[in-house]
Amino acid sequence: MENPHAERQAVLLERILKNASACTEMILELNHCVEEILRANASVKIAADLTTKYRKNVQYNLAATTLHSEAS
C-alpha cells in the first residue's frame, strides 16, 4: 500500500530544497559584500585606532603634567 501523502511530501521537500539552495546563495553573496565593505573600511579602522591611542596618550601626559605641576 502506497503512502497517499507521498506525492505531496515529495513536492514540499523539493520546494524546501529549492528555497534552502536559494538561501545559501544569498548568504554567500552577503558574505562577499561584507568582505568588500571590511576591505573598504580598513583604512578607517586604522585611523580610528591611531586616534584612540593618541587620545589615551594625551590623557596620560595631561595627567602626568598636572601631577607634576601640583607637586612643584
Confidence of residue 42 (pLDDT cuts 50, 70, 90): very high
- Planar angle of CA 57, 63, 66, nearest 5 degrees: 135
**What is the crossing angle of helices 6-40 and 42-71, to 10°?**
50
Q: Give the Cα separation of 20 and 28 in Å (integer).
A: 12
pLDDT confidence tier of residue 3, bands split at 50, 70 and 90:
confident
Residue 32 has pLDDT above 60, yes or no: yes
Instruction: Return phi, psi of residue 41, to 5°.
Output: -95, 5
What's the whole-number mean pLDDT along residues 10-28?
98
Per the confidence metrics, is the pTM higher than 0.85? Answer: no
pLDDT higher than threshold 80 for residue 24: yes
Is the pLDDT reported for residue 9 higher than 80?
yes
* Burial (CB count within 10 angstroms: exposed 0-12, middle 13-18, buried 19+), residue 18: exposed
